[in-house]
Amino acid sequence: MRRTSVPDRAPSRRRVLGGVAALAAMTATGTAGTAGCAAPAAVGAGRTRLRFWHLYGGGDGVNMRTMLDAYRAAHPGIALRASTLQWGAPYYTKLGMAGAGGRAPEVAALHLARLPGFGPGRLLDPFDLDLLAEHGLSEKDFPADLWRRGRIDGAQYAVPLDTHPMVLYYNTDICRKAGLLGADGKLKPIRGAEEFAAALRAAGKATGRPALAVETLGAGTVGPWRLFSTLYSQTGGTLLDETATRITIDDTRALTVLRFMRRLTEEGLAHRRLDYNGTVGVFGGGETAFLLGGEWEVSTFTNLDLPFSMTRVPNLFGRPTAQADSHCFVLPHQRDRGGESNEAAHAFVAWMLKNTVEWAKGGHVPAYLPTLEKPGYLELEPQSEYRSVIDDVVLDPPAWFAGSASSMWIELGAVLSGVLTGSRTPQGALDEARARLQTLLDTPDPLGGDA
pLDDT number for residue 20: 45
pLDDT number for residue 330: 98
pLDDT number for residue 1: 38
pLDDT number for residue 333: 94
* Residues sharing a CB contact under 8 Å with residue 29, sequence separation 6 or more, in sequence order: 88, 89, 219, 220
As a whole number, the mean pLDDT across the chain is: 90
Rounded to whole angstroms, how far apart are CA atoms 305 and 299? 10
Which amino acid, one-letter code, is at 286? G
Rounded to whole angstroms, how far apart are CA atoms 236 and 224? 19
pLDDT number for residue 3: 34
pLDDT number for residue 52: 98
User: Contact 158/149 with Cβ under 8 angstroms?
Assistant: yes
Domains of the chain from N-terminus onward: 13-163+326-391 (3.40.190.10), 164-324+397-442 (3.40.190.10)
Radius of gyration of the chain from its Cα atoms, rounded to whole angstroms? 22
pLDDT number for residue 104: 93
Which of 231, 237, 376 has the alpha carbon at shortest distance from 314?
Answer: 231
Rounded to whole angstroms, how far apart are CA atoms 37 and 387? 38
User: Contact 211/272 with Cβ under 8 angstroms?
Assistant: no
pLDDT number for residue 43: 56
Rounded to whole angstroms, how far apart are CA atoms 284 and 301? 6
Helix (H) or strand (E) holding 294: strand 290-294
**Residue 136, strand partner residues:** none
Rounded to whole angstroms, how far apart are CA atoms 66 and 361? 11
pLDDT number for residue 192: 98
Rounded to whole angstroms, how far apart are CA atoms 394 and 138? 22
pLDDT number for residue 27: 41
Helices and strands, counts by H and E, the chain: 16, 15
What b/e sequence results for 95-104 when a residue is b if at least 16 CB atoms lie within 10 Å of its CB, and e otherwise? bbbbbbbbbb
Which of 294, 315, 292 has the alpha carbon at shortest distance from 231?
Answer: 315
Q: How many CA atoms lie within 13 A of 305 on its CB side?
A: 0
Question: Which residues of the chain carry a pLDDT beneath 70?
Answer: 1-45, 447-451
pLDDT number for residue 228: 98
pLDDT number for residue 448: 62
Strands 155-156, 151-152: pairing kind: antiparallel
